[in-house]
Structure 1
Amino acid sequence: MTIPVDQLSDPTVRDFVAALNAHDRSALMGLLTPGATMSDDGSDRNLQDWLDREVFSSNGHMDVESEADGGLALVADYRNDTWGAMRTAWRFTVDGGKVSRFETGQA
């Protein structure tokens, strides 16, 4: 069972997931702090390159299964045209209504 995006607890994370699923680059970029960082499976990655490869050019989409820590930790089925579907964990750091870091990897 998935949680509808508009019912996610944290408003910044909710907007991030909505922008990601809509492939709305400007909205997603607007939700990130200057200098925002991310990691994938425990390794820091270049945020812009990762988003281009894993989201925008490959039709990335997140269906959230569960949330914890006030909505800052998600478990989601993530799919894109490159890797297919996989169960992933997401952890967000939100500062002043913007994402300063997110970490993702297989769950």
Structure 2
Amino acid sequence: MTIPVNKLSDPAVRAFVTALNANDESALFEALAPDATMSDDGSDRDVRQWLDREVFASRGHMDVQSEAADGRVLVADYRNDTWGEMRTKWAFTVDGGKVSRFETGQA
């Protein structure tokens, strides 16, 4: 069963997912620390380029199925116009109320 975004436990992760699902670029970058990093399937990527391609240009959307580690690890059905839908795992590092790193990949 999908977890409503407004029920996600960690406020920084909740802000990230809310902005991603709204395709709100300014809100998503506001949820990230200025020097945030990320990886996709174990390979570090440029955050802005990855978000532009995998989220904003392709209308990415997360339906969260479960959360762990106080809301900083999510399993979600992620879909976008490029890849369709797949089960993904997301792990977030939060510092000072902002996401400083996220790691995603197939679950």
Give 1:90 deviation, angstroms. 0.1
Could you say which residue in structure 2 is the equivalent of 1:29? 29
How many correspondences in the alignment? 107
Q: Which amino acid aligns with 1:66?
A: S
**CA deviation profile, 1:47-81 (whole Å, cap 9, x unmatched):** 00000000000000000000000000000000000
Give 1:31 deviation, angstroms. 1.0
Unaligned residue ranges in structure 1 (runs of 5+): none
TM-score by length of 2: 0.99
Task: Map residues 10-49 of structure 1 onto 2, 5 A cutoff.
Answer: 10-49=10-49
Please identify runs of 4+ aligned residues in structure 1 that moved more than 3 A: none
Unaligned residue ranges in structure 2 (runs of 5+): none
Could you say which residue in structure 1 is the equivalent of 2:105? 105
Q: Which amino acid aligns with 2:50?
A: W
TM-score by length of 1: 0.99
- Aligned identity (percent) is 76
**CA deviation profile, 1:31-51 (whole Å, cap 9, x unmatched):** 111111000000000100000
CA distance in 2, matches of 1:10, 1:102: 14
Could you say which residue in structure 1 is the equivalent of 2:7? 7
